[in-house]
Structure 1
Amino acid sequence: MVVPELRPWRAARPHVVRIADAVRQCLARAADSVRPRPGRIAAALGPRSARPDRPGSPRVPRPKTWQFTATAATAGLALAAGVVTAAGPWDSSGQRTAERHRAVALEASRGADHGGSRAHAGTPPRGPQAAPPAASVLTGLGGTATAARSAPAAKSLAGVLGPLLKSPVLGRRSAAVVDVATGERLYGTGSDDALIPASTTKIATAVAALSAMGPNHRLTTRAVYEPDTEEVVLVGGGDPTLTARKKTRGLAGLHDLAERTAAALAKRGVRDVTLSYDTTLYKGATMHPIGVNPNLAAVTPLMVDEARTDDSTSGPAPRVADPAADAARKFGELLEKHGIKATPPGPSKASTRAITLATVASPPLAALVERMLTNSDNDLAEALARHTALATGGTADFAGGGAAIIARLTHLGLPVKGAGIAVKDGSGLDRRDKLTAGLLTALLVKAGDPAHPELRPALTGLPVAGFTGTLAGRYTEGAAGVVRAKTGTLTGVNTLAGTVVDKDGRLLAFAFLANNTPGPAAAQTAMDKAATALAACGCR
């Protein structure tokens, strides 16, 4: 097998070059381990896309090795990089978009993949051809690989994972592995013990929010006009992705809102206004119990660019002290550029008599969930927890958000009772959060259930090993492109929960939690080794 050179990618953006180089390495390893015979590639693609056998040619059996799964996943990611300009800022590979299209197609066919070749399986109706999504999610969305072989044997799986997870660098540990197709637990050690989950809490937040509001829900920011006082009120709708940047790339833009607001005021003959802002959507404290921290802004329903003071879009960053006042000030400056003179803004509350001048809406909840999981976005996580509370009649504060998450998981029939399970925030920054490995795997299985297509973004948003989000710099060898997982890190806490396709093409959900770890680097390496071993395991 000849591995193609990818030199034309050198002119691309740096992250695309990195993806291309990683793909080339993966293809090279596959070439060394697999010597293709005539027709083998066609056979690997399955009967829908394979060419008919030529008369007199021998029938070639389908390969049973895992290399084709890994190669297909990484090649799909390489092709996806070519549609970067059509993707959102957290979808640099285009893979998320393709997976959402496939989920829609499968939902329309009641969870079954009935038509066409694999090349077109992820394409929405009447739309351009989407990039191929990773095989690990294709399996969870109704692919045929799951039915090809039975799940790993529990005893053999324990023999592989047991020694790796008994490492002293993992401190107090909890682990579970579940077959996504059947929900059967294949491996467990302390899997019903509630430990600090750190950012894997975001999986629970994602499932609860999607369950409560649906994947198409959007968060709306409004500008309203009080005719009695000639006051313009900027009403926060709880969208932390509202941006003051000119190039919004699908996000709700403050520039657009100001332009539309100014136009509406001009039609009324209004040129001078009192500017106010409304943050009453949320209740309670705005400061997270963790305190002032670069990982999270003050939790308020009105902010732009997550209150970051630099040009970053993810990760830790310095934040403004009062995000709502900062957003309103920037809005006022934009109004003045459009000929509307505004006073310095102050807090207020829009009355029931207020007339809506203009609105802007966030991307759909499915995209917000994917961004939250891929980048471990704490600001989005806290916003989604509060919106889950609002959607279910609760109070939009830290306690109400946590209670709403537990209530939605209970509604879905997930194991949240007993064992000391607790959710105190949406992000997992609160050390009082307690989840079990059993619950985390149950969440992942539920997200892959054909009966709940609305939960699919909780799977497609998981970082891809070696390629995206918080796993971009991990798994550069072995399981890159095959492991997809949410990471979690606090002082003395390391966690990892996600999905993996094993050697036989079986989709497995896993969760590894470690508390009282002596050091983050060693614990992270131990968990990565366990996930890599799970990917390579046939375990018969």
Structure 2
Amino acid sequence: MLMFTAALALLSPAAPRAWADSNAPPVGLDQVVHAALAREGIPPEHAALALFSHERGRYLLLWRERELMTAASNAKLVTSFAALRLLSPDFRWRTPIYLVEQHDGPDTPARQGLYVRGSGDPSLSEARLDAMARHIRAAGVTRIDGGLVFDTSLFEEPTPPAQGDPDWALAPVNPYIVNDNAVAFTLLRQDDGQPYSVVTDLPDDAVEVVSNLAAAAGVDARIVVRQRWSPEGVRFTLSGELDRAHPTYWVTATVQQPVQYYFLLLRHALRRAGIAGQMPLQPRQGEFARVKRVYLDTSDPLRILLERINKDSSNVAAEALLRTIALRGKAAGVNAGDGLAGVRELLRQDFPQAWEEVSLVDGAGLNRESRVSPLFLVKLLNRIHNYPTFSHEFISSLSISGWDGTLRYRDFPPRLAGRIRAKTGSLSGVQNISGYLQVFREQVVFSFMIDGVPRGTERLQEAQERILTDIYDHLVQSQAPERPAKQPIVRN
């Protein structure tokens, strides 16, 4: 572990100038934090902070700054930085689509199938699938008598992250991703006293939705979504009890069969584009007799897609990005370990004095064994701030307090609206926020991590918001100009 010899001198910033009582003793930022933690009932040994001022060129606060804390989604800061460095901000995912000739046997006539090679593109949506289908139709394809052929060999067979947490859900990571491999349901209260109706955008010809929802007054809403997949489609069964006081609920379920989900939506898009055929789903087996590429789907550049990972905090996108990093040195069969090896090598190169203060075992931070210190995150954010090729895009990909992303509905007071750009992270008992805080013309880089506090997510977030507000108010007061002395009134 490295020693930081100047730490003691940097624990407290310059004393604030008090307007009300010029004789009041100066209050250091460390004292403000200690008092705020005590007020919120958070043991000091379960919190860690680091604050750095660009304008002053020094740390304003170091509080257990080298402690390795559960990273949660703050791990995405490391993953996305590594991807920008190793893949470049202009990197794009490319998904080739081929017409292939298929034979059931040596003497059977050829059938025309469609082969989509999964690329791990995490940004694909139903709208992109529709555009893909229209391009295939424009290439002269009117019928597909063979199958829709898939190939998952780009990524190794997925395994769930170790030590899962009940607060998160991650679809199996594979090269076929659409809509974050999740299904959204809207539950609408019925005026006739019947249970809530369920609305989804999924195609009716392959999806069945069954509602076993009950409604009562004053109950805590609990909803369970079960899935049953078959070659023909999927049945979603929603069960639970809802509070009738709320007219609408929104529920998102992680898809358990992402490959089938991808091709179910693609088949529906092909039919909407006017392409006929049964199009059963088939795994790739060996080489094709004839292959013709009919379309190459291309994603937006990584510099734009960063928002999906940082602002929207997509776990699937972060894990796909980690595996894409590994494809720099391996053509197929990559896994999270391959990507993490590349990330570690980069951190050892870029942060030779601090790389041991981060220990990731996944790309999204869902595994509790992924740990990082707040001091490392501040150093990382400092490096990003000064990086000419992607500083603006990276900082823009972070959530803005009171405005968008995971900070849109956080309960910061109005004076902090728009003044925080940060990445949040939550697991049970874990609450992290790391980013940039604007205080007048001063930009403060900060990381505030809470770990091991047995409290509900919402209550822990509110406590963290109040403490961060105390820090902001102290910094504002310490920068405020002295109140001018009253001048005598001269009467002529």
- SS of equivalent to 2:77: helix
Aligned residues of 2:134 and 2:270 also touching (Cα < 8 A): yes
Q: Could you tell me which residue of structure 2 aligns to residue 161 of structure 1?
A: 33
Aligned residues of 2:37 and 2:467 also touching (Cα < 8 A): yes
Q: CA deviation at 1:522?
A: 4.0
Aligned residues of 2:144 and 2:275 also touching (Cα < 8 A): yes
Give the structure-2-normalised TM-score.
0.69
User: Greater RCO between the two (CA within 8 Å, min separation 6)?
Assistant: 2
Q: Distance in 1 between matches of 2:77 and 2:94?
A: 24
Q: Could you tell me which residue of structure 1 aligns to residue 222 of structure 2?
A: none
Q: Could you tell me which residue of structure 1 aligns to residue 253 of structure 2?
A: 318
Matching of residue 405 in structure 1 with residue 405 in structure 2: no
CA shift digits 1:28-70 (9 cap, x unpaired)? xxxxxxxxxxxxxxxxxxxxxxxxxxxxxxxxxxxxxxxxxxx
Q: Distance in 2 between matches of 1:161 and 1:402?
A: 34
Q: CA deviation at 1:183?
A: 5.7
Q: CA deviation at 1:232?
A: 1.8
Whichever residue aligns with residue 160 of structure 1, its letter is: V
Q: Distance in 2 between matches of 1:464 and 1:189?
A: 25
Aligned residues of 1:295 and 1:316 also touching (Cα < 8 A): no
Q: Could you tell me which residue of structure 2 aligns to residue 273 of structure 1?
A: 146
- SS of equivalent to 2:371: coil
Q: Could you tell me which residue of structure 1 aligns to residue 106 of structure 2?
A: none
Q: CA deviation at 1:265?
A: 4.8
Whichever residue aligns with residue 295 of structure 1, its letter is: A
Q: 1:328 to 1:152 in 2, by over 3 A?
A: same
Matching of residue 456 in structure 1 with residue 392 in structure 2: yes
- SS of equivalent to 2:449: strand
Q: Could you tell me which residue of structure 1 aligns to residue 292 of structure 2?
A: 355
Q: CA deviation at 1:401?
A: 2.6
Whichever residue aligns with residue 14 of structure 2, its letter is: A
Q: Distance in 2 between matches of 1:176 and 1:292?
A: 29
Aligned residues of 1:211 and 1:454 also touching (Cα < 8 A): no
Question: Mean Cα displacement is larger for which, 526-535 or 466-475?
Answer: 526-535
Q: Distance in 1 between matches of 2:134 and 2:391?
A: 36
Aligned residues of 2:167 and 2:428 also touching (Cα < 8 A): no
- SS of equivalent to 2:70: coil
Q: Could you tell me which residue of structure 1 aligns to residue 262 of structure 2?
A: 327
Aligned residues of 1:208 and 1:408 also touching (Cα < 8 A): yes
Q: Distance in 2 between matches of 1:262 and 1:350?
A: 26
Q: Distance in 1 between matches of 2:451 and 2:251?
A: 23
Give the structure-1-normalised TM-score.
0.63
Choose the corresponding residue for 1:509, options 438, 445, 456: 445
Q: 1:271 to 1:466 in 2, by over 3 A?
A: closer
Q: Could you tell me which residue of structure 1 aligns to residue 211 of structure 2?
A: none
Matching of residue 440 in structure 1 with residue 377 in structure 2: yes
Q: Distance in 2 between matches of 1:477 and 1:271?
A: 57
Whichever residue aligns with residue 401 of structure 1, its letter is: G
Q: 1:272 to 1:292 in 2, by over 3 A?
A: farther
Choose the corresponding residue for 2:312, options 360, 369, 375: 375
Whichever residue aligns with residue 158 of structure 1, its letter is: D
Matching of residue 309 in structure 1 with residue 183 in structure 2: yes
Q: CA deviation at 1:360?
A: 1.7
Aligned residues of 2:147 and 2:282 also touching (Cα < 8 A): no
Q: 1:292 to 1:278 in 2, by over 3 A?
A: farther
- SS of equivalent to 2:417: coil
Matching of residue 423 in structure 1 with residue 360 in structure 2: yes
Q: CA deviation at 1:306?
A: 1.8
Q: Could you tell me which residue of structure 2 aligns to residue 484 of structure 1?
A: 421
Q: CA deviation at 1:191?
A: 0.7
Q: Distance in 2 between matches of 1:515 and 1:153?
A: 29
Q: CA deviation at 1:490?
A: 0.7
Q: CA deviation at 1:380?
A: 1.1
Q: Distance in 2 between matches of 1:531 and 1:262?
A: 55
Q: Could you tell me which residue of structure 1 aligns to residue 195 of structure 2?
A: none
Q: CA deviation at 1:531?
A: 2.3
Q: Distance in 2 between matches of 1:346 and 1:476?
A: 54
Whichever residue aligns with residue 389 of structure 2, its letter is: P
Q: 1:322 to 1:181 in 2, by over 3 A?
A: farther
Choose the corresponding residue for 1:197, options 71, 78, 86: 71
Q: CA deviation at 1:270?
A: 6.7
CA shift digits 1:357-389 (9 cap, x unpaired)? 112222221221112111211111111111122
Q: CA deviation at 1:198?
A: 0.8
Q: 1:413 to 1:495 in 2, by over 3 A?
A: same
Q: Could you tell me which residue of structure 1 aligns to residue 5 of structure 2?
A: none
Q: Could you tell me which residue of structure 1 aligns to residue 156 of structure 2?
A: 283
Choose the corresponding residue for 1:260, options 135, 140, 159: 135
Q: 1:278 to 1:292 in 2, by over 3 A?
A: farther
Aligned residues of 1:403 and 1:423 also touching (Cα < 8 A): no
Q: 1:318 to 1:392 in 2, by over 3 A?
A: same
Q: 1:281 to 1:206 in 2, by over 3 A?
A: same
Q: 1:300 to 1:509 in 2, by over 3 A?
A: same
Q: 1:435 to 1:294 in 2, by over 3 A?
A: closer
Higher helix share: 1
Q: Could you tell me which residue of structure 2 aligns to residue 523 of structure 1?
A: 460
Q: CA deviation at 1:526?
A: 3.0
Q: Distance in 1 between matches of 2:34 and 2:401?
A: 22
Higher strand share: 2
Q: Distance in 2 between matches of 1:389 and 1:182?
A: 39
Whichever residue aligns with residue 369 of structure 1, its letter is: L
Larger radius of gyration: 2
